[in-house]
Structures are given as structure tokens and as C-alpha cells.
Amino acid sequence: MRDYRIGRLKGRFVVMWDEAGTRRRYRLAAHTVKEAEREARDLIIQVSAPASGVTVKQIWEAYQVEMGERRQAAKLAQVGRNVLPVFGHMTAESITADDCRGYIATRRKHGRKDATIRTELGCLRSAMIWARKAKLVHTVPAIDMPSTPPPRERYLTRAELAVLLDAASEPHIKLAMLLMVTTAGRTGAILELTWDRVDLERRVIRLAANDIGPRKGRATVPINDSLIGALQTAKAAALSNFVVEWGGRKVGSIKTGFNAAVTRAGIDHCTPHDLRRTAGRFMAEAGVPIEEIAQYLGHTNPNITRSTYAKFSPDHLRKAANALELFPPVRSNEPKRKP
């Protein structure tokens, strides 16, 4: 897959790529980043479109450029390594259900779980839908995908969480885990968090980088007593503007360090995202109202929060159970003792 990149040269936007070991540049007429992304997309299609029609590979590359700096672009780059060798040479209109089913069977044979395969084919479908909206293709092919797997429900107990935090030998891994639990933030939000959004005096963290932000909501949450000390220590030693850093640079992933801590802790398998789930459960078990939990988690629809966490609330269905009491409460016949 050719790696197209947008950059600047002498104050102008350019699109760059490597071809046969040589870096190529093409100067764009665009004046804004968005204009540059769209102009580059059209250029990619024009330069390499075959007579038979636009291929999946060309759509994929153009869609990736359109995504710019968004996380979807990085996801497309990763997923494309598996999808494009199979579908890249095809046109959108030529993709059939049998092609998708063959892909599913091959990936399963290689040991990939249905959730992973669904993500890969989901990216393919997103690219095709985008191509239709961009008028690059006339129709969107039907992309067969594995059924949605049941939701994963792994919650850590307080004892497991304590052992896991103790097992984190690297300071940046421990800080990231502590942030994920106390802010209920997603991994991406925590790794992208910068010190200008951490107010140690007012004890507030703004997880959203700006007013636009990613599609999944990021809340502004208080800094509790469990977190304040760790943040003060990290701030004093900071070498960059990123809260979670390693060697003065932003941390791209904590999977390796996190998995090592899980192994040392000797607990059942869990993922960084399970810390966010655990935070939601802890709040529900403490009787925090669902609407407040939803705000803390950045959910725009409290019904999503309710469907996941209401069952952990001590008051969940309590009124319904009381309405079904069949016998009056048993009263003791012993006389009350005088004080």
C-alpha cells in the first residue's frame, strides 16, 4: 500500500509519497488542511485509476488521506495490511458476499476472533460508504460480516485493581492505569492528555482536546484524592506536555506494559479498557445516579449507561421487588427495653 502524506513545502501544501525508492511530491492549490485532504484524495484517484474503475485500494488510500490526523487514519493503515491483499485489486461493485465469506473463513483459519474480523470488514464497509458519498462509486456493496459478539464483561474487583497497580513497575504505566480508573477515560484520551488540560489547583481534568473532539464523548472530571498526588509527582518530573510520557515523548500504546503488569499480578486476563468498565461499576455500586455516571463516562445517552451499569446499583429493581412482597415483615414480640 502506497503511503500518501500531506505536508508543507515553502509554505504550500503538498502531497508526498514514495515510489520505487524515490520520494515524490505534488504541490496542491489548497489553502487549508481540509482543502488539502480533499485535493489529495482526488489526485490519488486521478493518478492511478484504471480503465475498469476505481479499486478498493485507491478508495482506501483516499479515505485514509481524508481522515487526516484522526485516529481512524491510523486504524485504516493497520487494518489495511490484512484487507487490501484480498480486496485491494477489486472494484467496489465487484465485491460479493462470497468474497466476504471467504475472507472470514481464512481469517478464522489463521486464529483471528470474530470481533477482529468484524472490525476489519467494518473498515471496508466504512470506506465504501464514504466512497459513495464522495461520488467515487455508484453503489455500496453488501459487506457480509460475522455476527456481533456478545458484549465483553470483565470487571476488576477492588482487590484485583490494587494488586494490578502494585504490579505496574514502569511509572508511566501505573499513572496511565490510575488515570483510566479515576477519570473513567478511554485509553486514547489518557495517552493524548496534555498538562494544559489538567488544573491541579482547581483539581479538574478536561479529557477533550477541543470543542470538536472525537466522536466518542470525553468528559471534564474532578481529580480525586487517589489521583492528585500521582499527578503532582508526574508534573514535577515532566519532560514534555503529555501527562503520560516515556523518555520525554508521548506514549503510543501501553499494551505491552499493561499485559506485563497483569501477568505479574497473577489475575485473570483483562485489557486497559476494562479499567473504564470497572470505574463505571464502582460508581454504580456506590449508588451514584445513572445520569451522573453517564456524564462522567462521556455518554450522551444515559440509556446506554443504564443498560450496562444499572444492574450494579444497590437500588436496581428494589422498588419492584418490594412491590411483590407477599408477607408482612416479622415483628418481634419482645418488649422494648427502657434506656
Q: What is the pLDDT of residue 327?
A: 82
Q: How far apart are CA 269 and CA 292, in angstroms?
A: 29
Q: What is the pTM of this model?
A: 0.63
Strand order in the sheet with 22-27: 5-9, 12-19, 22-27
Report domain extents, the chain.
Answer: 5-133, 158-316
Q: For 118-203, where are the E strands, in sequence order?
A: 198-199
Q: How far apart are CA 220 and CA 311, in angstroms?
A: 25
Of 34, 93, 82, 33, give the one whose Cα is nearest residue 59.
93
Q: What is the pLDDT of residue 144?
A: 92
Tens-digit pLDDT profile for the chain (339 aa)? Answer: 556 678 787 778 887 767 667 777 777 777 787 777 777 766 666 555 444 578 899 999 889 888 887 778 889 999 999 999 999 999 888 899 999 999 999 999 999 999 899 999 999 999 999 999 988 888 899 999 998 877 778 999 999 999 999 999 999 999 999 999 999 999 999 999 999 999 999 999 999 887 544 445 688 999 999 999 999 999 999 999 999 999 999 998 999 999 999 999 999 999 999 999 999 999 999 999 999 999 999 988 899 899 989 999 988 888 888 888 888 776 666 666 565
| 198: number of Cβ within 10 Å | 19
Q: What is the pLDDT of residues 38-74, one digit of tens each?
A: 777 666 665 554 445 788 999 998 898 888 877 788 8
Superfamily of domain 158-316: Intergrase catalytic core (1.10.443.10)
Kindly report the CATH number that applies to the domain delimited by 5-133: 1.10.150
Of 200, 250, 205, 204, give the one whose Cα is nearest residue 229.
200
Q: Which amino acid is at 74?
A: A
Q: What is the pLDDT of residue 164?
A: 96
